[in-house]
């Protein structure tokens, strides 16, 4: 598929069909505020391009029955979510429903060539399973800042070898379809916006706590990426004056005090200091500890694990409190690997935000866990490329 | 004038004429990407409404000479900027050039009825001076959060008696013209965007340091007001853990450590403790001290005054550093009464932001003083109402 909508009416029609599914011409006309004849012109043009297809007769609203239309059911999008230590690849329908989803361990530090080999292999497996003949477009998320217009990572701290690599161009050639690239946290926000907990919210923050920590910002329904693509990079906001040294060279950064990596480090320290029998036992068995071990220890009632989670949540909450006062969002979504820490983490974050933010800004502010888990990123990636393809060229 | 543009083409034409001044049909057609005949239709309709007027022949571009058009030169906007302790009222041309500007001391705590009486009196003086027959619209800024759609202040901490007062409706009746209401800091940002230092920037922060402290957020060219109108309220972000008690009930808020009021308090304390001969002398003469006294003492080389400014700038810089990492703006503008502290303040803010923000976010980040001084708010107010009037009803 190389066709693109010819004007903003067609673009809006395509997005309505993507977000709302098959619909009758009559209802689409109502929602677009277009006359029946003007709508017919645009729909007919879209039918000619092959972007949409007829889908039988709609239920009667009295009078002549309207024809249903839908996005061409053969369209396939590829969603790729590259993390620090694993990669998700999924194929979706034109409505962004997942048909197949693979997750594999991976080390982003091996560089783009090795990582893309693995991604292409995974995409090939999804094709071989009969889920897609080819891909009409692909969205790619990477765990660092991206110069959005040309899809190039810029100075990504945890991605050596990726700085300036032409991800968009390289993958577009390999896959033979249009590609868009974005920061992984922005894609998580777009996923939760499309199919998750943020469906009805135009202004929200999506805080992803994984190996590192970042924040997707959605304002007026649009992702805010900032002047150089680094918006939402909250891991290096100062959480503790003169606090712990951070890899970035400063002290007291949020990420140095709480993230998946910081939590694992603190848990291992506690185990070695004999502060927790539960953590020490797991450390002895596995030779290392992760955030998942802390979650399991907390679930077993371990006081040290619970305290680590509470402390971490307080640090994140303190930063989020400032961002809430600053941006006055309608919703805060917490996602990422560390959400395995669940409601203990959420409780600590909420306590801090509700205590510290302006009352006016928290009057109607839900703070919730994301709904989609590891699907949020790949759905967001599919949404990214569909937003591009469903806009006038 | 009650006419409004009938469609988005007309709205765009009006804004082009406002921001760029009189122009030829030929050049407007180029900038709008409209054919000569389509443009002629829209221009003719606007001429009929009286919103635009013919303005002679344009310079030749070869071939037939094009006609100039401009906004109706008789249009008049009223810009009102209500501060904590003074009020600015100005009348502008349709291009938002100031024809007359009055400033008077005022106490916002006297409540809306007394304040509006004074505002109407000042507007009457501008009329009596022959600067306007009547007003086609008025923009009003108030020093607190505003529920934007209906123009009502919401829980404004320094404005007792204003909570829930229907400012928009009441002033619209008194003035007999459309009125829009916004937070004063947002208007300062819009003023600097229209005619000041932020003219070419779509993403910037405008930090206003006066009696209190606040921040206007412009993203994608639009002011971001937040879900309940409190976006940018940075005065109560925590600057110092367990720091000074703040009027809001928390400790360590930015405003408790630096603002016009905090600076005056600290200066008086220093004077009484005998730390500064310069400040003590001024305190004895006037019985009180303000930010202006600190500025004057600093200019005279007083070490204590310089230290107070440096400390304050460091606190503001620390908060701005976080906001810069978070939102990745292209420019930071510092405005408000405290800018009398000038380059000493700016140097302290810059040092902190460049030290503490992500390098990627500060790579091309100018931090500058506002250009318009007390005119920024009234120009922003005129821009606010013109944005409203120059949009389809």
CATH code of the region B77-193+375-389: 3.30.420.40
Q: pLDDT band at B312, cuts 50/70/90?
A: very high
Tokens at B81, concatenated: 């900027």
Quote the CA–CA distance of B216 and B221 in Å, as a whole number: 12
Query: Which range has the top average pLDDT, A252-261, A333-342, B63-72?
Result: A252-261
Per-residue pLDDT reduced to its tens digit, B125-167: 999 999 999 999 999 999 999 999 999 999 887 888 999 999 9
- Range from A354-368, B111-125, B129-143 carrying the lowest mean pLDDT: A354-368
Q: Name the one residue in this structure whose structure tokens are 């009021």.
A: B261
Composition of chain A by helix, strand, coil, percent to 5: 45, 20, 35
pLDDT of residue A72: 96
Query: What class does CATH assign to B8-71?
Result: mainly alpha
- Does residue B303 carry a pLDDT above 70? yes
Check for a shared fold between B8-71 and B199-369: no
With H, G, I as helix, E, B as strand and everything else as coil, classify residue A343: helix
Per-domain residue ranges of chain A: 8-71, 77-193+375-389, 199-369
- Does residue A26 carry a pLDDT above 90? no
- Does residue B37 carry a pLDDT above 80? yes
Return the C-alpha torsion angle B91, B93, B94, B96, nearest 10: -70
Nearest to B328 among A203, A228, A326 (CB): A228
Q: Which residues of A touch B358 (CB under 8 A)?
A: 230, 233, 236, 248
pLDDT of residue A34: 81
The residue among B335, B390, B329 whose CA lies nearest residue B368 is B335
The residue among B157, B167, B326, B255 whose CA lies nearest residue A360 is B157
Nearest to B154 among A145, A217, A360 (CB): A360
Q: Name the CATH architecture for the domain at B199-369.
A: 2-Layer Sandwich (3.30)
| CA–CA min distance A10, chain B (Å) | 18
With H, G, I as helix, E, B as strand and everything else as coil, classify residue A103: strand
Does A232 contact B363 at a Cβ distance shorter than 8 Å?
A: no
Per-residue pLDDT reduced to its tens digit, B234-290: 999 989 988 999 888 889 999 999 988 899 999 999 999 999 999 999 999 999 999
Per-residue pLDDT, averaged over A96-118, amounts to 96
ipTM comes to 0.86
- Does residue B64 carry a pLDDT above 70? no
pLDDT of residue A61: 67
Q: Which residues of A touch B238 (CB under 8 A)?
A: 318, 321-322, 356
A8-12 long-range Cβ contacts below 8 angstroms, 24+ apart: A8/A392, A9/A34, A9/A38, A9/A42, A10/A42, A10/A45, A10/A46, A10/A392, A11/A390, A11/A391, A11/A392
Residue scoring higher pLDDT (B230 or B155)? B230
Q: What's the whole-number average pLDDT of chain A? A: 92
The residues, any chain, with a CB within 8 Å of residue B20's CB and separated by 6 or more, are none
- Quick one: which H or E segment has residue B271? helix B260-272
Convert B6-34 into a string of H (helix), E (strand) and C (coil): CCHHHHHHHHHHHHHCCEEHHHHHHHHCC
The angle at the Cα of A134, spanning A131 to A137, to the nearest 5 degrees, equals 105
Q: Name the one residue in this structure whose structure tokens are 């809006």.
A: A12
CA A71 to chain centre: 24
Task: For residue B250, give the chain A residue with the closest CA.
Answer: A356
Return the C-alpha torsion angle B55, B56, B60, B61, nearest 10: 30
The residue among A372, A393, A392 whose CA lies nearest residue A96 is A372
Does A328 contact B229 at a Cβ distance shorter than 8 Å?
A: yes
Quote the CA–CA distance of B345 and B338 in Å, as a whole number: 9
CA A93 to chain centre: 18
Q: pLDDT band at B58, cuts 50/70/90?
A: low
- Range from A215-219, A342-346, B87-91, B349-353 carrying the lowest mean pLDDT: A342-346
B386 close to B137: Cβ distance less than 8 angstroms: yes
Q: Which residues pair with B181 in a beta bridge?
A: B140
Task: For residue B246, give the chain A residue with the closest CA.
Answer: A356
């Amino acid at each position: 598929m190389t066709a693109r909508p010819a004007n903003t009416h067609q673009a809006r029609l395509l997005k309505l069909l993507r977000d709302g599914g098959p619909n009758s011409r009559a209802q689409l006309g109502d929602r677009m505020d277009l006359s029946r004849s003007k709508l017919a012109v645009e729909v007919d043009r879209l039918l000619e391009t092959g972007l949409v297809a007829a889908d039988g007769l709609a239920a009667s609203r009295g009078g002549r029955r309207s024809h249903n239309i839908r996005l061409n059911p053969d369209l396939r999008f590829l969603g790729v979510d590259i993390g620090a230590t694993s990669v998700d690849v999924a194929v979706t329908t034109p409505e962004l429903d997942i048909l197949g989803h693979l997750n594999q361990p991976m080390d982003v530090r091996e560089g783009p060539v090795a990582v893309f080999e693995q991604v292409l292999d995974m995409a090939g497996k999804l094709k071989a399973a009969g889920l897609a003949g080819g891909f009409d477009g692909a969205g790619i998320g990477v765990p660092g800042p991206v110069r959005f217009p040309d899809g190039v990572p810029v100075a990504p701290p945890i991605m050596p070898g990726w700085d300036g690599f032409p991800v968009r161009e390289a993958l577009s050639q390999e896959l033979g379809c249009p590609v868009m690239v974005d920061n992984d946290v922005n894609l998580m926000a777009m996923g939760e916006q499309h199919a998750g907990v943020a469906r009805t919210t135009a202004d929200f923050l999506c805080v992803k706590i994984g190996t590192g920590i970042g924040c997707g910002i959605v304002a007026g329904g649009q992702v805010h990426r900032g002047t150089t693509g680094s918006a939402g990079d909250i891991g290096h906001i100062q959480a503790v004056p003169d606090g712990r040294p951070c890899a970035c060279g400063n002290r007291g950064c949020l990420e140095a005090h709480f993230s998946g990596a910081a939590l694992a480090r603190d848990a291992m320290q506690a185990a070695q200091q004999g502060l927790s029998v539960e953590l020490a036992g797991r450390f002895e068995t596995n030779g290392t500890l992760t955030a998942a071990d802390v979650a399991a220890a907390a679930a077993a009632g371990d006081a040290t694990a619970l305290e680590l989670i509470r402390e971490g949540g307080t640090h994140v909450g303190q930063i989020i409190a400032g961002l809430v006062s600053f941006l006055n969002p309608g919703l805060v979504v917490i996602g990422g690997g560390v959400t395995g820490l669940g409601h203990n983490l959420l409780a600590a974050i909420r306590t801090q935000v509700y205590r510290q933010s302006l009352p006016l800004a928290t009057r109607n502010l839900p703070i919730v866990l994301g709904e989609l888990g590891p699907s949020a990123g790949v759905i967001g990636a599919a949404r990214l490329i569909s937003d591009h393809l469903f806009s006038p060229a």
